[in-house]
Amino acid sequence: MDKKLFILVGCEESQAVTIELRKLGYEAFSCDLLPCSGGYPEWHLQMDVFGAISGGYLLTQDKKYIWIEKWDMGIFFPTCTYLTCTANRSFLNNPDRWEKRLEAVKFVHKLMNVDIPKIAIENPKGVLSSHIRKPDQYIQPYHFGHTDSKQTGLWLKNLPLLVPTEIVEPEWHYPKNGGNRMSKTHALNPSTNNPENAKLRSKTYSGIAKAMAEQWTNIN
């Protein structure tokens, strides 16, 4: 590692990617409005992501100040509640949800245009493709050693496409009352109306987190 990169992992309470980056020796910090669940509060900025992006003296969750003049990379996981296509039926004749979707799209658009040289934005297949632009690639957990299926887009700036590390067969669960097949994680955590289930469904898979950390820092 020729240069110690300062990397902001935004909208990440799980610290999955932050931990993998730290294993490689980088100054990575997670950031979320929620406290972290990854076990490293000294690496977590519990604050608005745009406040963290602006740099300066930033207070970690365990009350320690760090000085960040400028981030070298930003990896962002904006909440997909109002962005995913799977919730489209709930927008029918629902102006309140229309407004929240617009706010969510504008939030992502703002992230895409912050002053950070290298940027990655991750989100499940949804409305960003039609409202902003198509992702640079779609990935699946089963490309990185997990048996789940969750088509996920990556919008990249000055970063390479992720290369699959371990392709496996996805595992499907079928509802007893019929209906569409589901991935293991969605079957075991069936409703995003439950905040804890929503957190479980949104966590970054360890194989993907490891690939992001290794492949996106191994460039000039």
**pLDDT given for residue 189 in this prediction:** 57
pLDDT in tens, 84-101: 877 667 777 778 888 998
Distance CA 55, CA 88 (A): 36
186 found inside a domain: no
Residue type (1 letter), 215: Q
The strand order across the sheet containing 118-124 reads 44-46, 27-32, 6-10, 73-76, 118-124, 152-157, 137-139
Structural domain of residue 140, as residue ranges?
6-165+205-217
Domain tally for the chain? 1
Which of 137, 122, 112 is CA-nearest to residue 209? 122
The reported pTM is 0.89
Residue 28: beta bridge partners? 7
Find out whether 83 and 155 touch, Cβ atoms under 8 Å: no
The list of the chain residues with pLDDT below 70 reads: 1-3, 87-88, 178-179, 184, 186-202, 220
Residue 83 burial by Cβ neighbours in a 10 Å radius (0-12, 13-18, 19+):
buried
125 found inside a domain: yes
Provide the CATH number for the domain around residue 67. Answer: 3.40.50.150
Which of 124, 170, 122 is CA-nearest to residue 143? 170
